[in-house]
């Protein structure tokens, strides 16, 4: 029995809880209105076709609204506080190596298994096979896809390491990003054209819905704890690095292979 007083659920609390959930649900519903309007307009006015399986669509939408509401609630009580408490804990511990190792693991670990990346890498294997960079056989293609996935995962790990280091040092984010862009532009000139589209897209697929809130909370948490940093100016930017470095790394990968 730990702190029994906290475990008693009063009717008033339940009522407040239900009201909070309902409020979030109406918010989620509002977020979905544009999609419903767009799909309905194009289906009815432009394509002039009836809705197929209307019942399934309605059930699906209810799922989406409830799911989005739960997700937003979970952010506020789970992911955000967790990211912040990790930031505080690392700051208290004061070990730079531990913090950077954590940043790398978070970036690498969340990216290597990312389904969107696996899909893009498999497609890239086909492109490379067709273009004759590698033998056009199944093992060669899957080898290529795996190497590409490792490249992207390492690049995201490196991005978070660099991003966290930047927060600690207080470097302005735009010099690093603009420097990165210039690198991308220069490398685009030298990389084989087939890899360019894949490289640009791989920047977008690396940041999953669960990683983003955690990383944002970590960055803002660090910027709050460290003296002389402002959360808005220094806390954001980690995700930006995580979208830029994969482009550079994949272009480099295309040039090496």
Partner 1 sequence: MTILIDTLQAMLETLRDVLPIAVILIGFQLLVLRRTIPNFRRLLAGFAYVLVGLTLFLVGLREALFPLGETMAEQLTAIGLSGGATGSWLDYGWVYAFAAAIGFATTVAEPALIAVSLKAQDVSGGAISARGLRIAVAVGVAVGVTLGAVRIVTGTPLPYYIIAGYIVVVLQTLRCNKEIIPLAFDSGGVTTSTVTVPIVTALGLGLASAIPGRSPLLDGFGLIAFASLFPIMSVMGYAVVVERMRRPGRPGAEEEEP
Q: Which of residues 158-187 bind partner 1 (CB under 8 A)?
A: 172-174, 177-178, 181, 184-185
* 25 scored as a contact of partner 1 (CB under 8 A): no
Which residues in 82-121 contact partner 1 (CB under 8 A)?
A: 82, 85-86, 89-90, 93, 95, 98, 101-102, 105-106, 109-110, 112-116
* 198 scored as a contact of partner 1 (CB under 8 A): yes
Taking residue 78's Cβ as centre, other Cβ atoms within 10 Å add up to 13
Q: Which of 72, 140, 150, 226 binds partner 1 (CB under 8 A)?
A: 72
Contact 172, 231 (CB under 8 A): no
Which CB sits closer to partner 1, 64 or 225? Answer: 64
Nearest to 233 by CA among 170, 148, 152: 170
Q: Which of 5, 8, 232, 256 binds partner 1 (CB under 8 A)?
A: 232
Q: Which of 5, 8, 9, 46 binds partner 1 (CB under 8 A)?
A: 46
Which residues in 114-153 contact partner 1 (CB under 8 A)?
A: 114-116, 123, 126-127, 130
Q: Which stretch binds partner 1 (CB under 8 A): 9-17, 137-145, 236-244?
A: 236-244
Residue pointed to by tokens 């944002």 = 216
Which CB sits closer to partner 1, 31 or 143? Answer: 31
User: Hey, CA dihedral for 109, 201, 68, 216, is it positive or negative?
Assistant: positive
CB of 184 to partner 1, least distance (A): 7
Residues 6+ away with beta carbon under 8 Å from 255 = 187, 190, 191, 192
* 43 scored as a contact of partner 1 (CB under 8 A): yes
CA distance 249 to 244: 9
CA distance 114 to 242: 14
Half-sphere exposure of 239 (CA within 13 A, CB side): 17
């Amino acid at each position: 029995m730990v702190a029994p007083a906290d475990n008693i659920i009063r009717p008033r609390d339940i009522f407040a809880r239900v009201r909070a959930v309902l409020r979030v649900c109406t918010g989620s519903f509002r977020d979905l209105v544009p999609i419903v309007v767009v799909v309905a307009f194009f289906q009815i006015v432009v394509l002039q076709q009836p809705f197929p399986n209307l019942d399934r669509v309605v059930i699906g939408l209810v799922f989406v609204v409830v799911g989005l509401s739960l997700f937003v609630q979970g952010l506020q009580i789970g992911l955000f506080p967790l990211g912040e408490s990790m930031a505080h804990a690392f700051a208290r511990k004061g070990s730079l190596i531990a913090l950077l190792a954590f940043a790398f693991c978070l970036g690498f670990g969340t990216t290597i298994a990312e389904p969107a990346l696996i899909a893009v890498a498999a497609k890239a294997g086909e492109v490379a096979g067709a273009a004759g960079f590698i033998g056009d056989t199944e093992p060669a293609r899957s080898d290529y896809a795996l190497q590409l996935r490792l490249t992207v995962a390492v690049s995201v790990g490196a991005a978070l390491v660099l991003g966290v280091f930047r927060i600690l040092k207080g470097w302005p984010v735009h010099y690093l990003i603009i420097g990165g862009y210039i690198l991308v532009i220069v490398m685009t000139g030298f990389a084989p054209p087939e890899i360019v589209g894949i490289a640009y897209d791989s920047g977008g697929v690396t940041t999953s819905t669960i990683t983003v809130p955690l990383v944002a909370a970590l960055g803002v948490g660090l910027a709050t704890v460290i003296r002389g940093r402002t959360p808005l100016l220094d806390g954001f930017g980690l995700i930006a690095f995580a979208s830029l470095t994969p482009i550079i790394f994949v272009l480099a990968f295309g040039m090496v292979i």
